[in-house]
Copies of this chain bind each other. A is one copy, B any other.
Amino acid sequence: MIILLVEDDTVLATHSIDFLAQEGIEVDYASTMRQAQAISEHQSYDAIVLDINLPDGDGLSLAKQWQHQRQEPILFLSARDALDDKLKAFSYGALDYLTKPFALPELAVRIKLLASKNNSKPNRQFSLDSLHVDLDAKIITRGERVIVLSPQQWQLLELLIKHYPNPVSKAAIINQIWPQQDSNNNMYKSLITRLRSNLTREDEPALLHTLKKQGITLRVQHD
């Protein structure tokens, strides 16, 4: 998730950026209107956080200008609690308004709320050769064929995709799939065999390769 923060108080800004980073929110930062316009021109965000008082103008006018150009949800920050400002902000398309001082967790929650409202994110997809995986819908196809995997095999495939194109070590796999249980080499071997056989039919190129002593990885074999 990425947002645009426009705020001239650099202390507040850096604190906010740090905190939001911990919450998994990436921040593009501008301290003036002009800078904000420049940065944001070719970028789209999950939400925009706008201070009202800016050195080169008024966040409200920025919102007014953007309200029909940009589709991002806007949250206003302001030290002023004046009703007038709030109403004006909402009339320019703001979806939320937070009065300083505020607690950073509240800001984070409200940002997440706005972002989730307006964006239903597309599912994560992974493709390799004729293999196609929808990581959210959990649908796997190879060419026309639909592949159904057992829970363990799905877990393993997810792991491999997450690390693609790097190999995943045997130890890492065992840790992930059999946490805190005794697990032996045989269980691991069986799992690999089963996933491999489900992923490829006789006439198809192999996808699951083991690099001796290093682990296994997804790859198409070029000869």
Contacts and interface: CB of A to CB of B under 8 A. Distances in A.
Interface of A: 83, 86-87, 90, 95-96, 103, 105-106, 109-110, 113, 117, 123, 134, 136-139, 146, 150-151, 154, 165-167, 211-214, 217, 219, 222-223
Contact of A117 (B117, B166, B212): B117
A89 to B, nearest CB: 9
A103 to B, nearest CB: 5
A105 B83 contact: yes
Given A109-B90, A113-B95, A212 B136 contact: no
A86 B110 CA distance: 10
12 contacts: A83-B106, A87-B106, A87-B109, A95-B117, A137-B167, A138-B166, A138-B167, A138-B211, A138-B214, A138-B217, A150-B212, A151-B212
Given A117-B117, A138-B167, A166-B137, A154 B214 contact: yes
Given A138-B211, A146-B223, 7 more contacts: A90-B110, A95-B117, A117-B117, A137-B165, A137-B217, A146-B222, A151-B213
A217 to B, nearest CB: 7
A92 to B, nearest CB: 12
B90 A113 contact: yes
Nearest to A151: B213
Contacts of A211: 138
Nearest to A81: B103
Contacts of A110: 90
Given A95-B113, A106-B87, A165 B151 contact: no
Contacts of A212: 150-151
Contacts of A217: 137-138
Given A109-B90, A117-B117, A138-B214, A166 B83 contact: no
A213 B153 CA distance: 12
